Structure 1
Amino acid sequence: MNKKRKIEMNWLQKARESWSNTGNRRPVFAIEPKKGQRSVWDFPRPPIIEKVRKSVLVNYQGERIADSSDTLAVLETASPPTYYIPKLDIDMSLLVQIPGKTSMCEWKGNAIYLALKTMTERSVAWSYLNPFPEFKELKNHVAFYPQHLECYIDGERVKAQNSDFYAGWITEDLTGPFKGEKGTEHW
């Protein structure tokens, strides 16, 4: 193994081990879910993928970007689900890759970022072109930021997670507090 790869593997291992809450025990500050609700503090770490067959829509100023009933939700401790829509259900002609903008997730791999062709200065989505093997299902899927778009699940407009980086979709069936909110900094 070359030196660069060894450093990368060490970083990944440390990042994966740095989170103390793994969904096994809900912290005392977590909101108790009511009937029909789920606490994001019960979601696991490492994250899991859940298949979603509900209607998922993404619009920008009334223009349809995505429409799917075959999405994947990534569930991770403390975060609202992030929805990944198959590229086949997205009008990809409306999106453009942002040159040079990438990030690394310790679980999913290297992400690229996308903007609307009419608004290229702001990321509205991201995708994993070659996700790590544990998340290979995310290949050919795109996740959208509800902070910048109108996103719906079964007709319910989702609320955006309080973050410039994270893009969880908050719906009425979830309880928090959600990662990025006051009090979650050390979890």
Structure 2
Amino acid sequence: MPQPLPTEPPVESVWDYPRPPRVEETTEHVEVELGGVVVAATDRAWRVLETSHPPTYYLPRDAFVDGALRPADGHTWCEWKGQASYFDLVAGERVALRAAWTYPAPTAGFEAIAGAVAVMPGLVDRCTVDGEVVVPQPGGFYGGWITGRVTGPFKGGPGTRGW
């Protein structure tokens, strides 16, 4: 089992996040950029917090500019939130395939994010939280957003599958 890194407020350890995860509303300013364009911006989002994972940010659908969300094929299943549907993100000629997802009808406890949209930060040009550039969660599978506000170690990289 990994050893959590020490923290001092306002830094949060992802090892203090719960399992099952919880949803927390945030008023941080969140932006998503693709193709040199801000395709989403909001001061009202939700963070899903789960042990060993950096937060995944869910933005209200109306935070996205018209035409930025294009429905994509396929679904996945989360043991906590239920069935996810996907979007390609579009900015002019630039397309990030399956870079965003939503839970149209999430399971109990996750109703707050119904219809909200999460973005995989490693598939777009840049995501920011209160102006800080996000580092994508390692491994390319999970959609966590790493900022200076959180510390790990983080699940997703090599050797972390069993965490």
Name 2:122's counterpart in structure 1.
147
1:103-182 matches, cutoff 5 A: 103-117=76-90, 118=93, 122-149=97-124, 150-182=126-158
Equivalent pair of 2:16/2:51 in contact (CA under 8 Å) = yes
Structure with a larger share of its residues in helix: 1
Q: Percent identity?
A: 38
Name 1:3's counterpart in structure 2.
none
Runs of 4 or more consecutive aligned structure 1 residues displaced over 6 Å after TM superposition: none
Matched, 1:39 2:30: no
Matched, 1:70 2:44: yes
Tell me how many residue pairs correspond in the alignment: 160
- Considering only aligned residues, what root-mean-square deviation do their CA atoms show, in Å? 1.6
For 1:147, what is the secondary structure of its paired residue?
A: helix
Distance 1:92 1:109, change over 3 A: farther
For 2:155, what is the secondary structure of its paired residue?
A: coil
Alpha-carbon deviation of 1:183?
A: 4.1
Unaligned runs of 5+ in 1: 1-26
Equivalent pair of 1:111/1:128 in contact (CA under 8 Å) = yes
TM-score, normalised via structure 1 length = 0.80
Structure 2 distance, partners of 1:69, 1:151, is 14
Between 1 and 2, higher relative CO (CA 8 Å, sep ≥ 6) is seen in: 2
Unaligned runs of 5+ in 2: none
Q: Which has the larger radius of gyration?
A: 1
Structure with a larger share of its residues in strand: 2
Matched, 1:94 2:68: yes
